[in-house]
Amino acid sequence: MAEFSFENVSKRFGSMPAVDNHSLAAGDGEFIVLLGPTGAGKTTTLRLLAGLERADAGKISIGGDDVTHQSPTMRDVTFVFQQYSLYPHLTVFDNLAFPLRSPARSWPADRIDVKVREVARLLHIEDKLSNRATQLSGGQMQRVAIGRALVREPRITLMDEPLSSLDAKLRAELRVELKRIQRELGATVLYVTHDQTEAMTLATRIGVLDRGRLVQIGSPREIYERPANVYVATRLGSPGINLVPRQLLPRLKAPDAAATVGARTEHVRVSKAANGSALGRVRWIEHLGDANHLHLRLGEHDFVTLTAPGTPLTVGDAVDVDFVAPLFFDASGRRIVT
Amino acid sequence: MAEIRVDSLHKSFGDFVAVNDSSFTVRNGDFFCLLGPSGCGKTTTMRMIAGLELPTRGRILLDGIDVTMQRAALRDIAFVFQLFALYPHMNVRANIAFPLKSQRMPRAQITERVEEATRILRITHLLDQPVSGLASGDRQRVALGRAIVRQPKAFLMDEPLGALDAEFRSLMCGELRLLHDRLGATTVYVTHDQLEAMALADRIAVMNEGRIEQLASPQEIYDRPATVFVADFIGSPSMNFLPCAPVDAGLARGTHRVRVEGADIEMPALAQDASGREFILGARPEHISLVSDSPLRAEIFGTEYLGTTQIVTLQLRGGTSIKARVPSDVPALVGDQVGLALDSARLSVFAGSNGSALRTTLHESGTVHG
């Protein structure tokens, strides 16, 4: 329950910069999600804040204190991993009480009892308190692991892909739960994932990482609607943003510097081509139920957008594509602000 | 190319019934998906079609010929597994040529077939590379190449994309479907992933506990699920289920209203009489909207921004949790009390006793969308 900041923090492993000059300030109670593919430097950033890695340069602060050279135990942060890492021989209650009984805290038993029950209620596992940890389902185990991290009200909670070992349905459920618990406790969370849906739905702000660099940080809406560059634009959105060379769309009004047009499904109107104005052809219509993915071929480019299930379009149809306020990127990939 | 007919197929392992009296026909050229959770009998069904498992009773006909007791090798069916199962010591060409060599096909013809297969799969440039160094997508393409090179009567695929990550899976899904469109070969595809089935199949058989719950086109299954199980399994987030009761004495033919938490809700008119007191109203997340004046009230529990749309999780007064998919510019704050409007023409209604859908005007209209 504290703010934290990175000022020009770098970390290399051999000649490979894992974290390259990060600056980032998170407020108390913020839910920051770092998003990026494997090797982008997400986990290293997390470990730097935990104190499990030493920064080569820069300053890390928690709650206004410089912790750059502090040991992990002094920092008052907790970690939730992808694997549940519960004590299998202990009950759910004892697992949750464990951090409170540690010599560093040694709370009295009645206070522990109150706190554990409060957290259990929040996690909807009150009726499981006397179960062994191993008697729980995967989703319940991960709930307990999250509960154990939050029970001692650390200054910062760090989470490294905590939902990725759960199946899709459970993951969706726990996403909503996790957000609610974080909000009710007012916890400050730094969360790492490569899953864009998790980033979009959990974060107050998303930091997008690319090969060690923090490319953009902003609210999910900012990142989605106003990406800094092509790379960020491709990280969010399903189906992904379509990138089409500007010269392929001669009729589209675009800024002079525009080299690439970025079109999300909401920027696109597809219609059956009238009298030879065809821009592309329907390759495949992919059923999703509530909508269909419409796969088009525009010259040499694949183009995917959404269409209503009742669309009259069929495979092989020549189509015309109109654009409504798409994004424009210059030759270096930076978005042109229009 | 072939039609596969499965007639009263039954398989038990000791006391456990894996496949329970299943009958269906895979039409010539169909892309047919067997979809269901683990343990539903989909893989056992496929293994019996392949000849890797013998049925307890029932028949399997391949192009009208009874092959139930025929050995797998004689059935002229190619099998693609989840794991790539390539010969690691052979290069791409030798891997793909292998099934033809074991058929003792003349060498010139083998070369021709292998080259055709690799051209279709766009891996001609890899022909002389060892398979050990290939990326997982290329390995999967080689595995497919080994199946298509035989030009079998049918393809059976058991979760062939299961081992791939999400991004790559959707790419391979597209390739598989385009490949199917080019070859036009009858394909039976087993998966537990509803998105894969929706994307690929001409027709889907949804299986549960050894039985086929529904067999229809993807859109039909989505729009008019036959049971609560099917409705819950297809769609993400899945369909919402609202306990409901008759407004009057019972649900008679022509009734077009039910009561949910004291509110009268319009729905498609019933085309049958239904007994019982307990029913379930099914509403897809995209058929629920947030309005100010509706007798059906709920509190916003969470919102998930997804770009174009957002998923709003709501709690009804009675405690039922539901999800609505609404445009992301609709204001939705956690803790707000809102009214819910349901798209009455698109609702399903199920019998509470056995979970099967009641027939309504929804089933009598042609296409639902449009």
Q: For B198, which of A172, A201, A287 is closest by C-beta distance?
A: A287
Nearest to A261 by CA among A210, A206, A193, A331: A331
pLDDT of residue B83: 63
Q: How confident is the model at residue B163 (pLDDT cuts 50, 70, 90)?
A: low
Question: What percent of chain A has pLDDT above 70?
Answer: 100
Nearest to A37 by CA among A206, A209, A162: A209
Whether the pLDDT of residue A244 is over 90: the answer is yes
| Paired tokens of A245 | 């060379």
Task: Tell me which chain B residues have a C-beta less than 8 angstroms from the C-beta of A183.
Answer: 334
State how far the Cα of B267 lies from the Cα of B251, in Å rounded to an integer: 12
Nearest to B219 by CA among A283, A309, A307: A309
What is residue B73's DSSP assignment?
G
Closest-CA residue of chain A to B37: A167
Chain B nearest CA to A266, separation (Å): 7
pLDDT of residue B1: 61
pLDDT of residue B3: 95
Whether the pLDDT of residue A170 is over 80: the answer is no
**Average pLDDT in the B268-278 region?**
90
Tell which wins on pLDDT, B249 or A192: A192
A310/B222 touch (CB, cutoff 8 Å), yes or no: no
pLDDT of residue B168: 72
Q: How confident is the model at residue B367 (pLDDT cuts 50, 70, 90)?
A: low
Distance from chain centroid for Cα A117 = 30
Whether the pLDDT of residue B244 is over 90: the answer is yes
Whether the pLDDT of residue A15 is over 60: the answer is yes
Whether the pLDDT of residue B249 is over 80: the answer is no
pLDDT (tens digit per residue) in B71-100? 988 888 988 876 667 888 899 999 999 989
What backbone torsions phi and psi does residue B334 show, to the nearest 5 degrees? -60, 135
Q: Let me know: does B250 contact B293? Beta carbons within 8 Å.
A: no
Beta bridge partners, B370, equal none
State how far the Cα of A306 lies from the Cα of A288, in Å rounded to an integer: 10
Nearest to A160 by CA among A139, A137, A189: A189
Q: What angle do CA A18, A335, B166 make, to 5 degrees?
A: 55
A290/B302 touch (CB, cutoff 8 Å), yes or no: no
Q: For A290, which of B286, B301, B305 is closest by C-beta distance?
A: B286
pLDDT of residue B111: 94
pLDDT of residue B289: 95
A289/B234 touch (CB, cutoff 8 Å), yes or no: yes
A289/B285 touch (CB, cutoff 8 Å), yes or no: no
Closest-CA residue of chain B to A316: B181
Kindly compute the dihedral angle of the four CA atoms of residues A168, A173, A179, A185, in this order, to the nearest 10 degrees.
-130
State how far the Cα of A158 lies from the Cα of A24, in Å rounded to an integer: 15
Q: How confident is the model at residue A52 (pLDDT cuts 50, 70, 90)?
A: very high
pLDDT of residue B369: 46
| Paired tokens of B241 | 């289920």
Q: For A220, which of B199, B223, B305 is closest by C-beta distance?
A: B305
**Average pLDDT in the A198-217 region?**
95
**Average pLDDT in the B153-173 region?**
80
Q: Which of A67-76, B51-60, B199-208, B248-257 has the lowest mean pLDDT?
A: B248-257
Closest-CA residue of chain A to B176: A284
- The DSSP string of B241-304 is EEEEEESSSSB-TT--EEEETTEEEE-PPBSS-B-SS-EEEEE-GGGEEEESS-SSEEEEEEEE
